[in-house]
């Protein structure tokens, strides 16, 4: 990947053109190799979502949210490349993510890299302090390249895990977690796979991190490194999403039936088939004691993220609920108004958690800011629940037609259009075509196709619900709360 002479904030279109300049990826979708991912109709909407993160930095209304002053060079950079320098930075991150969720109605994919930058920054600092290594210096040099080139970097944490009852070194197949298979004088060879990789195909680079806290016997799995997305030996297998083939339908039928024709999310299984990583891009290579810190910090940052992005999509869902009520002629019905109030209450609760864990953040010894980890886990625990109720209420207001609606091709067919215009009519002044588009959007938002599955990602993204409950149990300090009760009750022992 060529490095720019000076940093320049890319526009969305410049980002798309930068993807064209990569070497061809070894990419498979639906059983077939893909030579040109940029213009593939299933992939392109997800690229458009990422492009929004670039265009927002040029929008006068949102520039303050979408850019920041680099802690490394002092120059203005895209916030997605930024090391958080205060609680205001942390809160602006959440606010920015909400705006992008509002504009795309889906996953814009760049958050995992930003969260990885901040987690790796602190972990490398602590590792160097103990071992006298140069990981932190290497990583700061790498991050400067990221800033200078305005790269999107995919944060790769989730291993395929194989037998979930066994630790990495105990697996029957040792490749179930990414590992170092060879150490060379100038670098390492890695093998394994990372699953559910958000925006992997749309990235310039990727950062690999451990997925669990390692033991000494797992030290070959305690690896953190960066590499180009088009590196030799990297293979991508595109993840299916429900109804994704609607993107292949010719416009305008495809545009109507897809629900969100312009934007989309993306996940992929990424295989590392004996990939060489030079020393300058290695930030952990066996220092297993610091894998837990890296996992917990990344997870905390990413759980904070869900208090922004999911809230933005939630805003779209609330708007869709109010709009379909108008289309159906019942916006003033008391039960409709009450359901929309409840949707707003739940959505703003999620946002409050994202802001709270940011406002209570603290400066790390490395110099960047870490969210309040307990509150970040509470934020994500709520995200595993509230979006399901928001979606349920939206489906309730929309009615059953959202899943029994005829195809847009039937609407465009002169022989059947007359019937649909007559029998799908609702409130005066509402076109049947607009009603169909809105119903397809609601289907998209609530039945799994938005944001790589708005509901499923809310449940499992940034760790499953049990992962947050474990962290809440660890951080809640129940012993201190017991002492509070003893003190008030005047219990001496």
Residue 267 is among the residues annotated as catalytic for this protein:
yes
Pairing of strands 268-278, 187-194: antiparallel
- Which residues on adjacent β-strands are paired with residue 237? 28, 269
Q: Write out the H or E segment, with its range, that includes residue 108.
A: none
Residue 156 is among the residues annotated as catalytic for this protein:
no
The active-site residue, picked from 306, 327, 369, 454, is 306
Find, among 165, 236, 162, the residue nearest to 197 by Cα.
Answer: 236
From CA 113, how far away is CA 185, in angstroms rounded? Answer: 28
Residue 107 is among the residues annotated as catalytic for this protein:
yes
Residue 309 is among the residues annotated as catalytic for this protein:
yes
Q: What share of the chain is helix, strand, coil (3-state, %, to 5)?
A: 55, 15, 30
Q: Tell me, what DSSP letter sits at residue 236?
A: E
From CA 51, how far away is CA 45, in angstroms rounded? Answer: 10
Residue 225 is among the residues annotated as catalytic for this protein:
no
The active-site residue, picked from 40, 204, 302, 386, is 302
Residue 457 is among the residues annotated as catalytic for this protein:
yes
For residue 75, how many other CB atoms are within 10 A of its CB?
13
The active-site residue, picked from 309, 353, 357, 379, is 309
The active-site residue, picked from 126, 147, 205, 267, is 267
Contact 304, 359 (CB under 8 A): no
- First CA to last CA across the chain, in angstroms? 65
Q: Tell me, what DSSP letter sits at residue 172?
A: S
The active-site residue, picked from 87, 122, 198, 446, is 198
The structure tokens listed for 89 are: 């930075």
Which residues carry out catalysis? 107, 111, 198, 267, 302, 306, 309, 457
């Amino acid at each position: 990947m060529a490095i720019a002479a000076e940093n320049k904030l890319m526009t969305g279109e410049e980002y798309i053109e930068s993807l064209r300049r990569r070497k061809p990826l070894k990419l498979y979708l639906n059983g077939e190799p893909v030579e040109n991912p940029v213009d593939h109709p299933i992939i392109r909407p997800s690229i458009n979502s990422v492009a929004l993160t670039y265009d927002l930095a040029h929008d006068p209304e949102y520039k303050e949210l979408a850019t920041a002053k680099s802690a490394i060079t002092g120059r203005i950079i895209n916030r997605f490349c930024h090391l958080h320098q205060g609680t205001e930075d942390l809160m602006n991150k959440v606010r920015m993510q909400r705006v992008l969720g509002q504009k795309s109605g889906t996953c814009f994919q760049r958050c995992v890299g930003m969260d990885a930058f901040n987690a790796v920054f602190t972990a490398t600092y602590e590792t160097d302090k103990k071992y006298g290594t140069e990981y932190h210096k290497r990583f700061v040099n790498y991050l400067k390249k990221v800033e200078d080139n305005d790269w999107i970097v995919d944060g790769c944490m989730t291993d395929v895990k194989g037998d979930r009852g066994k630790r990495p070194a105990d697996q029957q197949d040792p490749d179930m977690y990414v590992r170092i298979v060879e150490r060379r004088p100038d670098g390492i060879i890695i093998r394994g796979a990372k699953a559910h990789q958000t925006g992997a195909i749309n990235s310039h680079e990727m950062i690999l991190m451990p997925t669990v806290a390692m033991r000494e016997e797992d030290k070959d799995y305690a690896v953190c490194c960066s590499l180009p997305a088009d590196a030799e030996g990297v293979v991508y297998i595109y993840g299916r999403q429900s109804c994704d083939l609607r993107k292949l339908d010719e416009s305008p039928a495809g545009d109507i039936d897809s629900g969100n024709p312009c934007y989309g999310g993306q996940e992929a299984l990424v295989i590392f088939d004996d990939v060489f990583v030079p020393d300058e891009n290695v930030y952990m290579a066996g220092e297993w004691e610091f894998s837990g810190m890296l996992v917990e910090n990344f997870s905390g940052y990413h759980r904070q993220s869900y208090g922004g992005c999911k809230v933005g999509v939630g805003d779209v869902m609330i708007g869709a609920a109010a709009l379909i009520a108008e289309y159906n002629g019942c916006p003033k019905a008391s039960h409709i108004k009450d359901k929309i109030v409840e949707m707003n209450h739940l959505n703003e609760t999620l946002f409050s958690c994202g802001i709270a864990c940011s406002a209570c953040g603290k400066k790390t010894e490395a110099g960047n800011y870490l969210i309040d980890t307990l509150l970040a886990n509470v934020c994500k625990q709520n995200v595993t629940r509230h979006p399901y109720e928001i979606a349920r209420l939206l489906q309730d207001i929309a009615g059953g037609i959202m899943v029994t609606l005829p195809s847009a091709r039937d609407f465009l067919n002169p022989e059947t259009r007359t019937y649909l215009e007559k029998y799908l009519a609702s409130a005066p002044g509402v076109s049947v075509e607009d009603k169909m588009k809105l119903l397809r959007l609601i289907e998209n938002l609530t039945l799994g196709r938005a944001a790589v599955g708005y509901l499923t990602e809310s449940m499992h993204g940034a760790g499953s619900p049990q992962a947050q409950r474990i962290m809440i149990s660890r951080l809640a300090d129940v012993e201190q709360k017991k002492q509070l009760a003893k003190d008030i009750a005047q219990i001496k022992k």
